[in-house]
Chain A
């Protein structure tokens, strides 16, 4: 039985205080009942109701994803895909430039791409976070499992390009 929500916000030096303040609030409101473990990066808001670390190593990251049943990730494809490949339920939260959370609003793009394909529930406004979690708890979320049928496609494409340009003689 999983009783953990894993939260991760990446390796760059931008805070994401908005998310951790909201998670504390959702905990106080009783919407979140399970344990949370968060990787908070350089956020200055320190969570009151759950455990956290600033940064965690790759192995611990994978362990936490495997332990969790819901992963709340910032809108970065690396973290989201790790969670999806581990068959976890994912909430993708968007870092916004206006709050000083990133250099621009490209996370809207990422989260939209994932959400349109129904791989994740995406949250653009913190008010939607509670709803997204409730949808997972009550099993009402419309989600399609992620599957990559040919993960070697690009490797093979590049390999053919290399062979063509490196070994073959043009004037034959």
Chain B
């Protein structure tokens, strides 16, 4: 009787500790914030899609970098603008803005470069967090029938952006990071915050 009791006691302890270890394992996996890889290709494609992540420098780029898990899960590459600060992107475009007198030339250079990148990489999904640097890719995604995803910058809460307005029409998934931004775009959905 004594032995039986002791045996049951041991078993309970072992089971409990196994349970705790499993729980910790699950927690650790959750903490990695990774997405499970879907290896079952049941649908139209039998390969992983290639993701093109493009944005200008500064805050837009900071937000874009948060999409790294998508590249880890599928495959893909980053594009941003060249600035004095070194960044970890595969391709660098010329930095410009609407006030820059060289803007038309820089945009022309960027467009040609974008076409070169496109032909080399053949992306399937294009994701941007904004500004005009993404525009050539927007045009290319229409021409080549690829999916374009626009995420409105967190830096705007009560006003649409120029880039958002210009690229709204052919965007397949339009995400805003403030509920108050939804009213400015027809098909926008609120997605939470990237930061």
Contacts and interface: CB of A to CB of B under 8 A. Distances in A.
A159 B70 contact: yes
B151 A113 contact: no
B191 A165 contact: no
A154 B151 contact: yes
Given A150-B192, A166-B49, A167-B43, A155 B66 contact: yes
Contacts of A85: 195
A154 B153 contact: no
Interface stretch (B8-16, B80-88, B107-115, B135-143): B80-88
Interface residues of B, number: 57
Contacts of A153: 191-193
Interface string B141-153: 0000001010101
B158 A162 contact: no
B125 interface: yes
A12 B98 CA distance: 13
A2 B37 CA distance: 44
Contacts of A159: 35, 69-70, 73
B147 A167 contact: no
A148 B193 contact: yes
A20 B192 CA distance: 35
A156 B158 contact: no
Nearest to B36: A159
A110 B156 contact: yes
Interface stretch (A21-29, A64-72, A76-84): A76-84
Q: Chain A at the B interface: mostly helix, strand, loop or mixed?
A: helix
Contact of A112 (B51, B125, B157, B173): B157
Q: Chain B at the A interface: mostly helix, strand, loop or mixed?
A: loop
Interface in B178-195: 178, 189, 191-195
B28 to A, nearest CB: 16
Contacts of A109: 155-159
Contact of B194 (A12, A84, A151, A162): A151
Q: Which of A78, A82, A168 has the most CB of B within 10 A?
A: A78
A1 interface: no
Interface string A76-99: 111101101100000000000000
What 4 pairs across the A-B complex have the smallest Cβ distances? Answer: A153-B192, A113-B157, A78-B59, A77-B155
Interface of B: 33, 35, 38, 40-45, 49, 51, 57-63, 66-67, 69-70, 73-74, 83-87, 95, 97-99, 124-125, 127, 147, 149, 151, 153-159, 172-173, 175, 177-178, 189, 191-195
25 contacts: A11-B83, A55-B85, A56-B85, A77-B155, A79-B59, A81-B195, A85-B195, A106-B159, A109-B159, A110-B157, A113-B156, A113-B158, A152-B33, A153-B192, A154-B177, A157-B173, A157-B175, A158-B175, A159-B35, A159-B70, A161-B147, A161-B173, A166-B45, A166-B49, A167-B38
